[in-house]
């Protein structure tokens, strides 16, 4: 499987981590061998190291695969037994040599084998270090081996036993899962499952190690052989149970994937999901899916693939597809297929069968030989069934889905057009209603025009009658003007005489006005004399008063004179007022007479002009008589034409009525059409809902299938 590209720093870190495990593990083995004679000198240590290495190699080759990236080997049994029996150097050597041998026998590359061996050696060293520290902490040491048992096989050594297994488990699993967790290879669900099986395997390994070590420490021959055989048998049974449990977990995942595939997932997503699941359960360099197109196999997944070596495998693909049988090649290079041109060695070709119908081919390959065995073949066959189901569902559902989608698109287009047509029909109905309204308005206006025409006809008739009467009146006017011309001439003569009389009277009134002015002047003089007399009488009275008794008679005379002067003054004022009134009336009369004289000034010329005007009136009356007669004739002709216009207006009104009825029919038809189109639109929407439900039914059918 092509993994996502890692960052350069991450790659360098992982490479450095691998080199560290390789070199640190080798150094740990060398240090263990150097200190071997201090721990347990003699042949038992060598024998234990060899047997332990063989046991570790066997356990490595029979490891239980928990997932594509993780496994358990139970190497804790020989390593723990040697450590508990007081052979730590042999335990370190067995862990390192057995791991390397087992991986090489499994045809892993030497670098990976060396890295794994170094990791297991470091885990053994970590467990032994914890064992020694705990032993010293409880007061036990290597010297206790002289008494025939290991320090852990006592009540005081129970903590030592627990510390050893905890340290070994933490170091072994921590170093193993570090790179996987760092690279994000494990999901949360996988981590939970792996933790469960790791704990179970650790407990079983601890029990097996304690049992084997106890048999060698406390039982005589053949007790250890029996115990080892029992532990091996129990381990095989436990391995079988774990394998079955793991297979059940994998099958559960596969079944869950099948439910996802049948839930309506598109083909591309289904194949991507199956590829992701396969990447979690089996190893592969490439995973290709082929389908039948035009009678030949065509790769449909992945969309882009490296073409190197693909053509060389075409005969095998055609053979597997034609026979319907799977083709498994453990090593293509040994089988002589493609030679070195093919970048893979392990190959499985699994036909995609739905019933007896071959739909395609699944091709899984790896660059290592002998990668795919029984469990892997079963998983690949299960993946092939899933892919066949996905292809079959896609072949059944896709045409229906496409048809439903096309029908939905057509219905949407039809709905849009029906909406436009309905709107157009509604517009036509509105226009027809508007036309009907305008025709009705035209009819009303035509009826109104007809009434006006009738009134105009009556007016024309009346005007013709009036014109005839006017002609008669004009004739009477001409006759009267001719008959009264003499009377008018005599009246004009009398007006001229009246003008002369008014002029004479005006002159007399002007002379009288002058005399009145003189009288007013005299009256004013009298009033002035009375005022002087009054002043003198007042002075005389003042002087008489000064004379006393001698002037009393003079005072009386002065008083009488003053009274007479007062009466004279008052009489003069009254006379002046009367003269002023007369003068005002005479001035008014004179003004009127002058105005009348001025008006009668040109009465002669006006009389001659009036006489001429009378002559012209007579002539105009004669012309008006002829004009009114012509007007009467034209009015009669206009009356006849208006009568014809009234008939035309009546015809127009009748046509407008008929047009109004037609427009009403058109408007009703357009409204009915719009209503019908709206019903069709509703039916189209209902059909679209049916199409949508059909699509849902197809999805449900897909899910049920």
| The pLDDT value given to residue 33 | 80
In a domain? residue 39: yes
Q: Which of 362, 395, 428 is the last residue of a domain?
A: 395
| The pLDDT value given to residue 125 | 92
Q: Whose CA is closest to 701, among 209, 104, 262, 316?
A: 262
Residues 184 and 39 in one domain: yes
Average pLDDT along the chain: 73
Residues 205 and 292 in one domain: no
In a domain? residue 273: yes
Structure tokens, 530: 């009375």
Residues 29 and 44 in one domain: yes
Tens digit of each residue's pLDDT (9 = 90 or more) over 520-572: 776 677 777 777 777 877 777 787 777 777 667 767 776 776 777 677 777 76
| The pLDDT value given to residue 292 | 82
Q: Does residue 583 contact residue 520 with C-beta atoms inside 8 Å?
A: yes
SS3 content of the chain, % helix, strand, coil (to 5): 80, 5, 15
Question: Beta-carbon neighbour count of residue 321 at 10 Å?
Answer: 22
Residues 78 and 100 in one domain: yes
In a domain? residue 589: no
Structure tokens, 320: 């597997």
H-helix segments, 282-359: 314-323, 332-335
Residues 106 and 60 in one domain: yes
Structure tokens, 321: 């597809």
In a domain? residue 458: no
In a domain? residue 452: no
Q: Chunk the chain into consecutive blocks of 10 residues (it has 705) and report each block's average pLDDT, rounded to whole numbers.
A: 57 86 88 66 72 87 75 85 84 90 85 89 90 80 45 70 88 85 72 80 84 78 78 78 71 60 60 68 78 81 67 81 84 67 80 82 82 76 78 69 67 67 67 71 69 69 69 68 66 68 68 70 74 76 75 71 73 73 71 66 64 68 67 69 67 68 66 67 67 62 50
Residues 218 and 76 in one domain: yes
Backbone angles phi, psi at 139, to 5 degrees: 85, 20
Residues 222 and 276 in one domain: no
Strand 286-293, strand 357-366: pairing: antiparallel
Residues 351 and 297 in one domain: yes
Residues 195 and 338 in one domain: no
**Rounded Cα gap, residues 411 and 419, in angstroms:** 12
Distinct helix (H) and strand (E) counts, the chain? 16, 7
Backbone angles phi, psi at 307, to 5 degrees: -75, 0
Residues 303 and 269 in one domain: yes
In a domain? residue 203: yes
- For residue 117, give Cα distances in angstroms to 18, 29, 112, 419: 11, 10, 8, 78
Q: Which of 374, 395, 416 is the last residue of a domain?
A: 395
Give the number of domains in the chain: 2
| The pLDDT value given to residue 400 | 65
- For residue 548, give Cα distances in angstroms to 43, 433, 543, 556: 204, 127, 9, 12
Residues 244 and 156 in one domain: yes
Whether pTM > 0.85 for this model: the answer is: no
Residues 112 and 212 in one domain: yes
Domain with 192 in it: 8-258
Q: Which of 239, 258, 277 is the last residue of a domain?
A: 258
Structure tokens, 226: 């029996």
In a domain? residue 459: no
Q: Does residue 125 contact residue 28 with C-beta atoms inside 8 Å?
A: yes
In a domain? residue 213: yes
- Widest distance between CA atoms in the chain: 212
| The pLDDT value given to residue 144 | 46
Q: What is the CATH number of the domain that holds 306?
A: 3.30.450.40
| The pLDDT value given to residue 122 | 92
Q: Whose CA is closest to 384, among 296, 254, 252?
A: 254
| The pLDDT value given to residue 250 | 64
**Ordered strands of the 357-366 beta sheet:** 296-301, 286-293, 357-366, 346-354, 327-329
């Amino acid at each position: 499987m092509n993994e996502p590209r890692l960052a350069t720093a991450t790659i360098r870190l992982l490479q450095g981590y691998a080199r560290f495990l390789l070199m640190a593990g080798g150094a740990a083995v060398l240090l263990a061998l150097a200190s071997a004679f201090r721990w347990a000198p003699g042949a038992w240590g060598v024998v234990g190291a060899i047997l332990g290495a063989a046991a570790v190699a066997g356990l490595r080759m029979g490891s239980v695969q928990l997932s594509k990236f993780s496994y358990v080997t139970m190497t804790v049994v020989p390593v723990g037994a040697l450590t508990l029996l007081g052979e730590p150097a042999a335990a370190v050597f067995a862990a390192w040599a057995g791991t390397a041998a087992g991986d090489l026998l499994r045809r892993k590359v030497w670098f990976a084998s060396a890295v794994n061996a170094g990791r297991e050696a470091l885990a053994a060293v970590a467990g032994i270090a914890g064992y020694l520290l705990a032993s010293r902490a409880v007061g036990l040491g290597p010297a206790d081996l002289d008494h025939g048992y290991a320090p852990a096989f006592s009540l005081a050594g129970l903590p030592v036993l627990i510390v050893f297994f905890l340290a070994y488990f933490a170091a072994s699993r921590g170093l193993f899962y570090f790179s996987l967790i760092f690279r994000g290879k494990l999901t949360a669900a996988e981590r939970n499952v792996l933790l469960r099986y790791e704990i179970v395997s650790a407990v079983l390994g601890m029990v097996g190690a304690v049992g084997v070590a106890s048999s060698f420490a406390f039982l005589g021959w053949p007790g250890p052989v029996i115990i080892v055989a029992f532990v091996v048998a129990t381990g095989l049974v436990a391995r079988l149970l774990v394998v079955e449990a793991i297979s059940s977990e994998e099958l559960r995942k596969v079944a869950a994937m099948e439910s996802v595939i049948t839930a309506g997932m598109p083909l591309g997503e289904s194949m991507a999901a199956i590829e992701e699941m396969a990447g979690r359960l089996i190893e592969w360099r490439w995973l290709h899916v082929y389908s039948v197109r035009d009678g030949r196999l065509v790769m449909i997944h992945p969309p882009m693939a490296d073409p190197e070596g693909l053509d060389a495998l075409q005969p095998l693909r055609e053979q597997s597809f034609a026979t319907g049988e799977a083709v498994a090649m453990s090593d293509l290079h040994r089988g002589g297929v493609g030679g070195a041109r093919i970048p893979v060695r392990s190959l499985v070709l699994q036909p995609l069968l739905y019933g007896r119908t071959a739909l395609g081919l699944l091709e899984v390959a790896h660059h290592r030989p002998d990668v795919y065995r029984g469990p892997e073949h079963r998983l690949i066959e299960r993946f092939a069934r899933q892919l066949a189901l996905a292809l079959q569902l896609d072949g059944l559902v896709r045409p229906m889905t496409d048809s439903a989608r096309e029908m939905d698109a057509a219905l949407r287009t039809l709905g849009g057009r029906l909406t436009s047509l309905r709107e157009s029909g509604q517009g036509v109905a509105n226009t027809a209603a508007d036309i009907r309204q305008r025709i009705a308005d035209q009819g009303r206006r035509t009826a109104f025009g007809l009434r006006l025409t009738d009134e105009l006809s009556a007016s024309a008739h009346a005007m013709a009658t009036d014109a005839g009467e006017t002609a008669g009146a004009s004739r009477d006017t001409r006759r009267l003007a001719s008959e009264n011309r003499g009377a008018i001439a005599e009246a004009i003569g009398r007006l001229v005489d009246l003008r002369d009389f008014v002029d004479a009277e005006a002159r007399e009134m002007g002379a009288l006005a002058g005399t009145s002015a003189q009288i007013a002047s005299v009256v004013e003089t009298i009033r002035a004399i009375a005022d002087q007399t009054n002043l003198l009488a007042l002075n005389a009275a003042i002087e008489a008063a000064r004379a006393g008794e001698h002037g009393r008679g003079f005072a009386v005379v002065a008083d009488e004179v003053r009274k007479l002067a007062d009466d004279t003054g008052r009489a003069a004022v009254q006379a002046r007022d009367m003269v002023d009134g007369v003068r005002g009336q005479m001035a008014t009369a004179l003004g009127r007479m002058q105005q009348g004289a001025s008006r009668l000034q040109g009465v002669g010329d006006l009389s001659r002009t009036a006489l001429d005007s009378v002559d012209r009136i007579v002539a105009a009356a004669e012309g008006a008589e002829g004009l009114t007669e012509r007007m009467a004739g034209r009015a009669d002709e206009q009356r006849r034409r208006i009568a014809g216009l009234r008939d035309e207006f009546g015809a127009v009104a009748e046509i407008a009525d008929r047009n109004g009825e037609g427009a009403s029919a058109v408007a009703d038809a357009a409204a009915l059409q719009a209503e019908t189109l709206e019903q069709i639109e509703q039916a189209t929407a209902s059909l679209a809902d049916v199409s949508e439900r059909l699509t849902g039914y197809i999805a449900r059918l897909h899910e049920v299938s």
